[in-house]
Amino acid sequence: MFGWAFDNESKPNLDILSEVRLFKGLNKVLLRRLLIELFEKEYHAGEIIFSEGDKGKALYVVMSGVVNIVKKDGPGDKVLASLGPGSYFGELALINESPRFAAAVAVEETYLLIMYKSYFDNLIKGNSRISSRVLLNLAECLSGYISSRNVKDAFPRDISG
């Protein structure tokens, strides 16, 4: 039924997932199990993934393309980060469904894997090997955000320079 997650075509996805800081410490078997459950979506250049103020519902992993994280700044927008393959964003939605701090916009054709909060909640209840590692990594990331002095530190894989 989910043979695609185990074939050679999924290897690039598996390789990228293994580099995602949120999933560090998960072996290939656990990453494959995770990959089966993540939703895939392609966005076109200029397409809004979510808007500032939207209710947070999911974590996004950039598999290809570029996503800008954009904050309203007076009459215009300020790009906080440009995220490429292996980056993730929206992780606070896994903790609660508070409004989004900023918008996310595809800069070019972009392929994302999406982990919805409902799946994450089920993961916590049903797969302690994956969820305990992801929760530990998430706590590590969140503590880094709290201790960081500027927003750029919150996006360690920012490709904008």
Token code pair at residue 104? 């996310």
Q: What is the pLDDT of residue 152?
A: 52
Q: How many residues does the chain have?
A: 161
Class in CATH terms, 11-154:
mainly beta
Model confidence pLDDT, tens digit, residues 43-54: 999 999 999 999
Tokens of 115: 């982990």
The pair of structure tokens assigned to 2 is 């989910």
Q: Is the pLDDT of residue 151 over 80?
A: no
Contact 19/86 with Cβ under 8 angstroms?
A: yes
Answer yes or no: is pLDDT of 149 > 70.
no
Rounded to 5 degrees, what angle do the CA atoms 133, 93, 84 make? 75
Q: What is the pTM of this model?
A: 0.82
Q: Where are the domains of the chain?
A: 11-154
